[in-house]
Amino acid sequence: MRGTIIYGPRDIRFEERADPTIVEPTDAVIRTVATCVCGSDLWRYRGIADVAQPTPIGHEYVGIVEQVGSSVTTLRPGQFVVGGFLTSDNTCPVCRAGAHANCQHGTGYDGCQAELIRVPNADGTLLATPEQPSDDLVPSLLALSDVMCTGWHAAVCADVRPGGTVVVVGDGAVGLSGVLAAAELGAERIIAMSRHADRQALATAFGATHIVAERGDAGVEAVKELTDGIGADSVLECVGTDESVVQALKSARPGGMVGWVGVPHVTDIPQEHMFWKNVGLRGGPAPVRAYLPDLLERVWDRRINPGRVFDLTLPLRDVAEAYAAMDERRAIKALLQP
């Protein structure tokens, strides 16, 4: 089979690799139907995170089960499945508490931007659709593999409630998914912070009621003008830089909550924006398997269409172009088809 390897900054290659096989009895091997490039993959692509050696890459996928190990009970070959960006057993005490991203037996993957994928912990990671999906549902099912569950996690961590005010910092695929999550959770006012016309339009389609184009303190002031001068009940931080985290904390009202899902590249979190304002900060990698049953049903019933974040579709062999398009902001998110 062929799969994607990152060799270093801006060096993405699509190469012949050994076919994955069942290693543990809890494994499945799936044939990829669609995969994609994550904003977090770009940290290595841009050279901000180190690439010590050529490394298989990718952690978002949907596919068809090819093989299952001898102890897999909930899946059979031929099923269409969605899995999260980390594997989980769905049975350990941490998973039973709903924190699947921190599963005691959780793992990552050996590169999902590939034609075949070995999925450890198959029963606790993969969820099969009720039947084979029609082609138009595939992008939204793929979005559940990471961005939609991550945006949902931001909204849950930020304690978004019916009637509440929400600010979303970050207009990438996760931020836009966070807008959709906040709308689904009943927020009344959703302020999307975005400077790009195409992303503003999608944010509005996903339920944003206001757009703020300013950043930093000017952005915070604009938020306050829209929130009785106090800031928002809930703020979704979907970037992960010093500037964006501080902007998120400053945008929360006293006693408000920030849901933090932007992978942190932060040196310091100033306490004056938290303790003295009674502002909470909570977040981390999303427990995808905890959210999958509910979100899969919303997609299957066509109540939400998170796949709209994909604005570029390419053959998997053109994966390097997908990275370049996202790096240069020519695409919000690229979908890849083997």
With both helix axes pointing from N to C terminus, report the angle between 288-300 and 147-157 in degrees, rounded to the nearest 10: 110
- Check if the beta carbon of residue 208 is closer than 8 Å to that of residue 151: no
Residue 43 token pair: 């940290």
For Zn ion, the binding residues in 88-107 under the rule CB under 5 A are 88-89, 92, 95, 103
Residue linked to tokens 């849901």: 259
Question: Residue 59, Cβ neighbours under 10 Å: how many?
Answer: 22
Q: How far is the CB of 73 from Zn ion (least distance, A)?
A: 16
Q: How far is the CB of 325 from Zn ion (least distance, A)?
A: 36
Phi, psi of 224 (to 5 degrees): -65, -35
> Mask of contacts with Zn ion, 263-302, x by CB under 5 A?
----------------------------------------
Choice between 103 and 236, CB closer to Zn ion: 103
User: Residue 323 burial (CB < 10 Å; 0-12/13-18/19+)?
Assistant: buried
- Check if the beta carbon of residue 20 is closer than 8 Å to that of residue 118: yes
> Mask of contacts with Zn ion, 60-89, x by CB under 5 A?
----------------------------xx
> Mask of contacts with Zn ion, 20-59, x by CB under 5 A?
----------------------------------------
> Mask of contacts with Zn ion, 216-235, x by CB under 5 A?
--------------------
Choice between 80 and 109, CB closer to Zn ion: 109
Residue 315 token pair: 């053959």
Residue 97 token pair: 């508490």
| Residue count, binding to Zn ion (CB under 5 A) | 5
Q: How far is the CB of 127 from Zn ion (least distance, A)?
A: 15
Residue 126 token pair: 């993969």
Choice between 91 and 305, CB closer to Zn ion: 91
Amino acid at 224: K
Choice between 51 and 92, CB closer to Zn ion: 92
- Determine if 146 is a binding residue for Zn ion (CB under 5 A): no
Q: How far is the CB of 108 from Zn ion (least distance, A)?
A: 14
Residue 173 token pair: 């695929």
Q: How far is the CB of 87 from Zn ion (least distance, A)?
A: 9
Choice between 84 and 307, CB closer to Zn ion: 84
Whole-number Å distance between alpha carbons of 18 and 227: 55
Residue 314 token pair: 């390419």
> Which residues are at the interface with Zn ion (CB under 5 A)?
88-89, 92, 95, 103
